[in-house]
A and B are shown apart, each in its own frame.
Chain A
Amino acid sequence: MYVESSKGKIRRLWDFHGGLHLPDNKRQSLQTDLTSATMPARLILPLRQHIGESAIPLVKPGDRVLKGEKIADNTAPVCAPIHAPTSGIIKGIEAHPIPHPSGLNGPAIVLEVDGKDEWADLPAPINDFQNVDKSLLLQRVRESGIVGLGGATFPAAIKLNPGKAIKTLIINGAECEPFITCDDRLMQGAPDRILNGARILQHILGAEECLIGIEDNKPDAISTLRSHLTDDDSIEVVRIPTLYPSGGEKQLIRILTGQEVPSEGLPAQLGVICHNVATAAAIADAVLEGRPLISRLVTLTGEGIANPCNMEVPLGITAADLIEQTGGYTGKSSQLIMGGPMMGFNLSTDQVPITKGSNCLLAPSEEEVPTTGSALACIRCGRCAEVCPVNLLPQQMYWFSRAKELEKVQDYNLFDCIECGCCSHVCPSHIPLVHYFRFAKTESWAKEKELQAADHAKKRHDFRIARLERLDAERKARLRKKKENLGKKKPVKPAAKGEDAKKAAIEAAMKRAAAKKAAQQSPPKNTDNLTPAQQKQLDAVDKHRAETTADQE
């Protein structure tokens, strides 16, 4: 299909297989204007708020930190630093409930807020970003702790250094999950930040065009962004059809460019890089103001929440504090979801903090998100395959996952599944298909690890056998040598003449005397005069030492 994009251009759009038209439920949280959350008494900052390595604390309990100060980082390639969202005292670094599907606790920095909100010295704004070295901009993005704010939380700086020529920068404003409206609010409320971010990104990547894809159920966001474009922008705001999951990176790239990101590949291979609108805004803040990522927009919605709204919240505020600030619960919901109804995960407690990837807190009523009964048998109706945006055959994959036939299910491209939930959503037997695929994935990873471990063990075993054989061969060689030496006759000394014999006797006597003297002067060693048992122990230790050093060779 063709649509008119901004600047009167006609653009062709492509479609992907399947997808769903979902009731969008976005009005509830758009009734009120964007507000800012008040700072709670303490903030919980998990050390892992991004894909990759956990950050390592740079502070210790008792330290006073200022707003925007870096408090955790890691030199690992895939990592993003964490900054203090306000000034205060570090209370501790301890295990705390974190937003994770497992419901397990994770290490977090606890910051007691002092209420002064005192800023640290921020890096200088870079206003003429077109004229500075790109490495400086990359460094700024990295140091500001910016990660993908669409939910994937991949450190943004890594995506800005793809090592390939980039033709198209895509800014993702699709927001296809029902209920969530924080990107919509951001696009309507801060179009300039997003567009500045897009310009910076375009400059860093050297992309000739930038497309902002927004689903057509957000007309206000589209018109606002379009009205803020300037004449020398090569940015187009493209209205795309509302079809879940159009906001998935691969799906959006397909819609806007017609290209499919190769399986197990990256968008950069197609000359495309994709960032979320909130990420673009955060990058603009970091470059133009020096402000690190210390807050984000969060949608609070669902009939279980008294006043659905969008809020600018400091990272580290707990869901409980945040919901209390908006007026608390209505009691109409028995669950709390972080993220949307399709891909979000349930929180078992509301004591978890908001992290960089938290875009929504959803407390749905039974009417909004019905809980389903137990699963029935699959009747192979094929609806799951009809709606799968990746064109997989979920019913077959379910069969193999159930039977734990991991090779088969991988043969059916399990790892191309994006866990969007379309298949589970339409299944008339109410089978939690995505859950089965996650299970199959984790089982596959576990098996892979096992194989690697077995491989490693086998290598070590082979090495040991080889070493023992070598030692054995050496011993045998020594024995052979000895035997040969024994077999040889000792050369007979010619009979010494009188004088020579005398000299030799004197010399020998002198040597003996010197040896005796030396023995008296040096203190006895503790290894002298050992009992046979001690000697045996010592030998064993020496042997082990020799073995371990051989192991390390």
Chain B
Amino acid sequence: MQFQTFSSPHTRRPNSVDKVMLQVILALLPGVLAMTWYFGPGVLVNIVIATLSAVAFEALVLKLRKRPVMPTLYDLSAVVTAILFAIAVPPLLPWWLTVIGMAFAIIMVKQLYGGMGYNPFNPAMAAYVLLLISWPIPMTSWLPPVVLSANPLDFMQIVSAIFTGSPPTGLEWDAITMATPLDEMRTNLDQGHMISEIFQSPLWGDFGGQGWEWVGNWFLMGGLWLIYKRTITWHIPLAFFAGLTGLAMITFLFDPESYPFALFHVFSGGAILGAFFIATDPVTACTTRKGQLIYGVAIGMLVYIIRTWGGYPDAVAFAVLLLNMAAPTIDYYTRPQVFGHGDNHG
């Protein structure tokens, strides 16, 4: 009898890239729903636009590169990039900016480097930074949480704002948008206000901005679920928070009226999303255990430094990209000790 031959091992654990990506998408859902709840359905519209354009660009480039299109589309990595990007940008971002962002993320940052697994930079964050420094106004015009909004928008108004790029009839941009809590904090501090004064505003919740902190909470749930499912490990998120809160605590103890307390930083902006979903992107992060700890701590510290003294209030994207550059080097210097190479010889 003749038989087929394969290379050992012959067994496989039934997991696959698309399952990993699907788990990430599922873990993002609670946070996405919370965002919809607090900031209206704009984020959902953005997710749809981003996903469609990301998949389209991925298919286009794969065709140009003469690669099989379907298996790569099924791995869902483009979808994850699209969702992360859409969550990070303001809910009323004009559609064409989303499309430009996705074109840059998929074509330039991912496929031109060789596609899935070869990109040195996190595509969603690279696209976010590109738009932020090219179109700073629309990229920083956030909506207030629905509960605080003087002019809550309905679904059709939001869709028209996204697709026309102009505010709903009878309203000015300034009337419906506002800065993010982090931005608010920075601006007020720069104007010489005390922290205790700043927190008088109804904008604030317990730790961060109203609504923002709860969105963060739900992302935290999703992130913990990913750790429980072993899709990610605890190393990068924990190190990230350690780096962020460590610095924040030092400055807070030093001058509590000029530096907000540590948890404010955790529950503001993209810190939680960044710690669990962006810094842990396996392709662009460190792979050694020690390296992941260094990587996480460094991102956390950079987030704090950029938020506190840098030019932009939203720091996660910059911090992640900077550490993406350093990841291979960190990996190289943090290789684990191989069995039989130590001095454990009796």
Contact = CB atoms under 8 A, between A and B. Distances in A.
B339 A393 contact: no
A192 to B, nearest CB: 32
Contacts of B191: none
Nearest to A103: B5
B344 A426 contact: no
Nearest to B284: A380
A345 to B, nearest CB: 6
A257 B1 CA distance: 46
Contact of B14 (A270, A320, A342, A370): A370
A178 B16 CA distance: 22
A422 B345 CA distance: 25
Contact of B282 (A329, A381, A426): A381
Given A270-B345, A380-B117, A342 B5 contact: no
Given A341-B9, A370-B12, A430-B12, A380 B341 contact: no
Contacts of B115: 377
A348 B19 CA distance: 33
B339 A390 contact: yes
B42 to A, nearest CB: 31
Interface in B1-48: 1-17, 19-20
Interface string A365-391: 000011110101111111001000111
A238 to B, nearest CB: 18
B283 interface: yes
Interface string A275-295: 000000000000000000000
A129 interface: no
B202 interface: no
A344 B2 contact: no
A357 interface: no
A346 B339 CA distance: 29
Listed residue (B17, B71, B285, B331) with the most chain A CB atoms within 10 angstroms of its CB = B17
Which size bracket describes the interface of B in this complex? 35 or more
B338 interface: yes
A37 B15 CA distance: 40
Interface in B107-154: 115-118
A260 B335 contact: no
Interface string B323-346: 000000001000111111110111
A161 interface: no
A341 B287 contact: no
B257 interface: no
Contact of B16 (A262, A364, A382, A428): A428
Nearest to B235: A382
Contact of A269 (B2, B11, B12, B345): B345
A349 interface: yes
B2 A335 contact: no
A412 B12 CA distance: 25
A329 B4 contact: no
B340 A350 contact: no
19 contacts: A265-B345, A270-B346, A343-B8, A345-B8, A348-B2, A348-B5, A374-B71, A376-B16, A376-B71, A379-B17, A379-B282, A380-B283, A381-B20, A391-B337, A395-B287, A416-B338, A426-B15, A429-B17, A438-B7
Given A17-B336, A265-B345, A382-B288, 20 more contacts: A178-B11, A250-B340, A263-B339, A335-B3, A335-B6, A346-B6, A370-B11, A372-B12, A374-B71, A376-B17, A376-B71, A380-B287, A381-B282, A389-B339, A391-B339, A395-B287, A420-B9, A424-B12, A425-B11, A434-B7
Interface of A: 16-17, 22, 103, 178, 250, 254, 257-265, 269-271, 320, 329, 334-337, 339, 341-350, 364, 369-372, 374, 376-382, 385, 389-393, 395-396, 412-413, 416, 419-422, 424-430, 432, 434-435, 438
